[in-house]
């Protein structure tokens, strides 16, 4: 059994969201601080609750108007407080809309940074631990995963179907021309390989990938169709799509 998790974007049309929620088992919602963002978070939570799909939060750097895919130099104390606030705010929205908020994952440059950056990993973990019932979604063999294990916290190994990986098993950083798998066929093939316990790295080597969850972005005109193709490929290979349990 494998969790199929979609990273929602705020540009996904409302009509497509319902279709997507019939395909995946969990969704992660990006945090946004504006009024429009709050409305979109509420809509995503309400739709997920109606379909019985579990929700998670994507933590982001707290700089308004700055892409989350840029690595930033931040005050760690301020960052930790901001991330905890993001979790609290999203938890309130999820509860109000009847959604089951069960996991947190870092987003963009923050996701890439926790592979090796202990202070940033500590800030993310502090935000997750603010709500003990939450699981942590992220890449294996990282500083963040190691810290979570030491804290006896639920760390869910998630591999990304639409990101390329280095031979060491970490995602190629956002910003590199090799970071993303843009074609649907490549995403489907990587998801299938992940479900079989492996990923082909950018140098052609095969690395172990015993992932409980397969994540993918659906913030594109063809995101729902790609998710549907991924699910079909998983089921054809004998893998059952189901939300994680802990």
Average pLDDT over residues 188-215: 94
pLDDT above 90 as % of the chain: 63
Cα(221)–Cα(12) distance, integer angstroms: 8
Average pLDDT on 68-82 reads: 74
Q: Is the pLDDT of residue 63 over 80?
A: no
Give CA separation, 128 vs 21, 33, 87, in Å: 24, 19, 8
Average pLDDT over residues 187-213: 94
In terms of Cβ atoms closer than 10 Å to its own Cβ (0-12, 13-18, 19+), residue 132 is exposed
Give backbone dihedrals phi and psi of 236, rounded to 5 degrees, phi first: -65, -30
> Token pair of 73, please?
């130099």
CB 141 within 8 A of CB 100: no
Taking residue 185's Cβ as centre, other Cβ atoms within 10 Å add up to: 10
* pLDDT confidence of residue 246: 61
Q: How confident is the model at residue 193 (pLDDT cuts 50, 70, 90)?
A: very high
User: What pTM does this model have?
Assistant: 0.91
The residues facing 7 across adjacent strands are 28, 217
Those residues with Cβ within 8 angstroms of residue 236's Cβ, 6 or more apart along the chain or in another chain: none
Structure tokens at 45: 């939570």
Domains along the sequence of the chain with CATH = 3-160+213-219 (3.20.20.370)
Partners of 4 in the β-ladder: 214
Give residue for tokens 């950018």: 202
Q: Kindly indicate the confidence band of residue 113, based on its pLDDT and cuts at 50, 70 and 90.
A: confident
Q: Quick check: 10 pLDDT over 80?
A: no
> Is residue 239 predicted with pLDDT exceeding 50?
yes
Q: Which of 45-49, 217-221, 236-240 has the lowest mean pLDDT?
A: 217-221
């Amino acid at each position: 059994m494998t969790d199929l998790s979609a990273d929602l974007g705020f540009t996904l049309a409302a009509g497509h969201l319902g279709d997507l929620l019939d395909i995946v088992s969990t969704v992660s919602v990006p945090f946004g601080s504006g009024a429009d963002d709050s409305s979109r978070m509420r809509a995503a939570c309400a739709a997920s609750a109606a379909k019985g799909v579990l929700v998670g939060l994507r933590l982001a750097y707290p700089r308004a108007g700055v892409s989350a895919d840029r690595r930033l130099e931040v005050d760690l104390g301020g960052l930790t407080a901001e991330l905890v606030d993001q979790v609290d705010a999203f938890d309130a929205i999820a509860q109000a809309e009847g959604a089951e908020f069960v996991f947190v994952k870092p987003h963009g440059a923050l996701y890439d940074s926790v592979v090796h950056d202990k202070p940033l990993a500590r800030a993310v973990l502090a935000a997750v631990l603010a709500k003990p019932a939450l699981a942590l979604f992220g890449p294996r063999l990282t500083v963040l995963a190691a810290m979570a294990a030491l804290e006896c916290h639920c760390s869910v190994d998630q591999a990304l179907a639409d990101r390329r990986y280095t031979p060491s098993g970490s995602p190629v950083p956002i910003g590199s021309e090799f970071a993303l798998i843009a074609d649907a066929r490549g995403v489907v093939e990587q998801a299938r390989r992940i479900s079989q316990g492996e990923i082909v790295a950018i140098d052609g080597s095969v690395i172990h990938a015993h992932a409980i969850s397969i994540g993918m972005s659906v913030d594109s005109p063809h995101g729902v169709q790609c998710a549907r193709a991924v699910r079909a490929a998983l089921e054809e290979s004998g893998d059952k799509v189901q939300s994680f349990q802990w």
